[in-house]
Structure 1
Amino acid sequence: MAEFVLVTIKVHDMAWVENYAANVPAIIRKHGGAYFAVSESIRRFEGDGPDLDSIVLLTFPSRAATEDFISDPDYAPYKAARLAATSGDMFAFTSHG
């Protein structure tokens, strides 16, 4: 079953972005994933979480593919750079309809 990955990002330092954007899409594709949506145009209707700079929605063909991407050693330095310069959350979920 396909799995979606939702990433919410509040950026504190932009230094990581160019290198991440240049390299991570190929690693995502290596695991059968794709960007479904990326946006910096965010409107909040409910909730009181932090104001976000970006929301990213990825798709992967399976939970195993998602986990393989997240744990890929090639992704590790880019993930570390993103985590050091941002705050936010990452959720994986399947759709029931």
Structure 2
Amino acid sequence: MTTYYSVLEVTPTTDEWVADYIGPANKLVAQYGGKYVARTNSHERLEGQGEDPALRIIIEWPSRQAAVDFMRDPEYVPHLKARTEGSVSHHYLIEGKDDLAS
């Protein structure tokens, strides 16, 4: 099975959701076989321009389906809603492969 990575950029617009989000998200990520690779505000731009998000988050998933199932879990949905309403968020799901390898 191919590994997948969630790459998130999150800039909270309010912190009201954060305390209630962390515990359930941690539990459900683990339940679906995910592992936080990075969850930090320590990042620097090496190339390009634009606004930097407050947080960069990388989660490793054992499969695409695990990531999708996590996002759709009824226990996670209200937390996802709170995060997206209380932040500017971008979430990319990236397949762990090199399409340009020869």
Superposition TM-score tier, normalisation by shorter sequence: over 0.9
Report the structure, 1 or 2, having the larger helix content: 1
| TM-score between the two structures when normalised by the length of structure 1 | 0.92
Aligned alpha-carbon RMSD (Å): 1.2
Note closer, same or farther for the CA distance 1:50–1:88 as it changes in structure 2 (3 Å cut).
Answer: farther
Any idea what the Cα deviations from partners look like across 1:24-65, whole Å, max 9, x if unmatched?
111111111111111111211223332210000001100111
Instruction: Please give the residue correspondences for 1:4-83 in structure 2 after superposition, counting only pairs within 5 Å.
Output: 4-83=5-84
| TM-score between the two structures when normalised by the length of structure 2 | 0.88
Distance in 1 of aligned mates of 2:21 and 2:32: 17
Paired residue type of 1:30: Q
Q: Shift in Å at residue 95 of structure 1?
A: 2.0
Paired residue type of 2:21: Y
Any idea what the Cα deviations from partners look like across 1:42-90, whole Å, max 9, x if unmatched?
2112233322100000011001111100111110010001001100210
Instruction: Give the number of equivalent residue pairs.
Output: 97
Gaps of 5+ in 1: none
Larger Rg: 2
